[in-house]
Amino acid sequence: MLDTMRRPLQDLRISVTDRCNFRCGYCMPKEIFNREYQFLARDQLLSFEEITRVARILVEKGVSKIRLTGGEPLLRAQLERLVEMLAFDDVDLTLTTNGSFLSRKAQVLADAGLTRVTVSLDSLDDDVFQAMNDVEFPVAGVLEGLEAASAAGLGPIKINAVVKRGVNDHTILEMARHFKNTSYILRFIEFMDVGHTNGWRLDDVVPAAEILATISAKLPCEPVEPNYTGEVARRYRFLDGTGEFGIISSVSQPFCGNCTRLRLSAEGVLYTCLFATDGSDIRAILREGASDEDLASFVDTIWKARTDRYSELRSSQTSGLDKVEMSYIGG
């Protein structure tokens, strides 16, 4: 199934909760997501059965990769039950997490059918990391989670580090050195104007070219072909053969032309772009008793009409739009 730019539907990102135990400023700033913030109530959330039904229909439409996200997905109780329900044949089932619960959950998730994890870790410097997650969660806790995921066979494990100028850009090289010569694949992510609360400014973005220059000046590397069409990270390998890293450059080198991603929020709204301002409510028709055919044609209509390419159109006019929060639909 192709959209208006002939992009196939291949990736489904499912947010299972809008809650998180971290308050990373680029995603969920504490001053907004505070004690008064109205998170989704339990009955607003799609049940595991509802999520599985929508996912099954999307797999029949061509989805071959499902990513579980949040907020922090491991805050959703018994997530391993959902993993078991979503372990479809020939579907790559992955999860993006801040790693804080991974040391406890990695094995049970792997046993349930999860294939891989991506863990967010913005710095190895404890002061910097704790300043970024804004809840004083230590680096050691995430590294423990990484080891548990590795021991459970949830690999290749990717590590996502959002880079913000003047905050953690001085620790890029340390990160690259630390994960070089390991099985982990580190990806640096340009700070993005997701949502409408993270105070994004272009001046705070460290462009991919600068990240690459910082690394290659000390650790010579070369570009590598993508693993598949639509891969978000640009890959680079170290010339001394000790591994690779990636850079996700939504701001300076947009990749909308190959974007094959659809997102489902925890309350059952479908979004065709990370930077969308509105979505399509599939929960309503689900709970009105829609048939599989009804749901399938609902999805058809949405994807076939898709024109999104926000990152190619980004400007000072667009960054202030009332975009959906990343913590609500997952990264």
Do residues 17 and 70 lie in contact, with contact meaning Cβ atoms separated by under 8 Å?
yes
- Cis ω before 320 (30° cut-off from 0): no
Choose, by CB under 6 A, the member of 74, 162, 215, 273 that binds ligand SF4: 273
Interior/surface letters 36-64, b for 16+ CB within 10 angstroms, e for the rest: eeeebeeeebbebebbbbbbbbbbebebb
User: If binding is defined by CB under 6 A, does position 189 make contact with ligand SF4?
Assistant: no
In the complex with ligand SF4, which residue's Cβ is closer, 6 or 218? 6
**Cα 5 from Cα 3, distance rounded (Å):** 5
In the complex with ligand SF4, which residue's Cβ is closer, 15 or 171? 15
From the list 144-152, 202-210, 221-229, 256-264, the region that binds ligand SF4 by CB under 6 A is 256-264
Do residues 180 and 242 lie in contact, with contact meaning Cβ atoms separated by under 8 Å?
yes
User: If binding is defined by CB under 6 A, does position 275 make contact with ligand SF4?
Assistant: yes
Footprint on residues 128-187 left by ligand SF4 (CB under 6 A): none
| Closest CB 251 distance from ligand SF4, rounded Å | 10
User: If binding is defined by CB under 6 A, does position 321 make contact with ligand SF4?
Assistant: no
In the complex with ligand SF4, which residue's Cβ is closer, 191 or 310? 310
Angle between helices 208-216 and 172-179 (to 10 degrees): 60
Q: Could you tell me what percentage of the chain is helix, strand and coil, using 3-state DSSP and rounding each to the nearest 5?
A: 35, 20, 50
| Closest CB 179 distance from ligand SF4, rounded Å | 25
| Closest CB 279 distance from ligand SF4, rounded Å | 12
Choose, by CB under 6 A, the member of 255, 298, 303, 328 that binds ligand SF4: 255
Distances (CA, A) of 126 to 121, 145, 156, 158: 11, 16, 25, 20
Strand partners, 95: 68, 117
User: If binding is defined by CB under 6 A, does position 237 make contact with ligand SF4?
Assistant: no
Could you tell me how many residues of this chain bind ligand SF4 (CB under 6 A)?
A: 12
| Closest CB 270 distance from ligand SF4, rounded Å | 13
- Which structure tokens are listed for 52? 């599985």
Amino acid type, 49 = E
From the list 110-118, 164-172, 194-202, 250-258, the region that binds ligand SF4 by CB under 6 A is 250-258
Choose, by CB under 6 A, the member of 33, 179, 200, 310 that binds ligand SF4: 310
| Closest CB 312 distance from ligand SF4, rounded Å | 7
Do residues 103 and 50 lie in contact, with contact meaning Cβ atoms separated by under 8 Å?
no
From the list 86-94, 118-126, 169-177, 268-276, the region that binds ligand SF4 by CB under 6 A is 268-276
User: If binding is defined by CB under 6 A, does position 14 make contact with ligand SF4?
Assistant: no
Strand order in the sheet with 269-271: 221-224, 234-238, 244-248, 185-190, 158-163, 116-120, 92-97, 65-69, 11-15, 261-264, 269-271, 280-281
Do residues 8 and 65 lie in contact, with contact meaning Cβ atoms separated by under 8 Å?
no
CA dihedral 44, 320, 28, 302 (to 10 degrees): 40
Choose, by CB under 6 A, the member of 98, 160, 168, 311 that binds ligand SF4: 311
In the complex with ligand SF4, which residue's Cβ is closer, 11 or 244? 11
Interior/surface letters 278-303, b for 16+ CB within 10 angstroms, e for the rest: ebbebbeebeeebeeeebbebbeebb
User: If binding is defined by CB under 6 A, does position 261 make contact with ligand SF4?
Assistant: yes
In the complex with ligand SF4, which residue's Cβ is closer, 5 or 284? 5
User: If binding is defined by CB under 6 A, does position 259 make contact with ligand SF4?
Assistant: yes
Q: How long is the chain?
A: 331
In the complex with ligand SF4, which residue's Cβ is closer, 74 or 162? 162
Give contact residues for ligand SF4 (rule: CB under 6 A): 250, 255-256, 259, 261, 273-275, 308-311
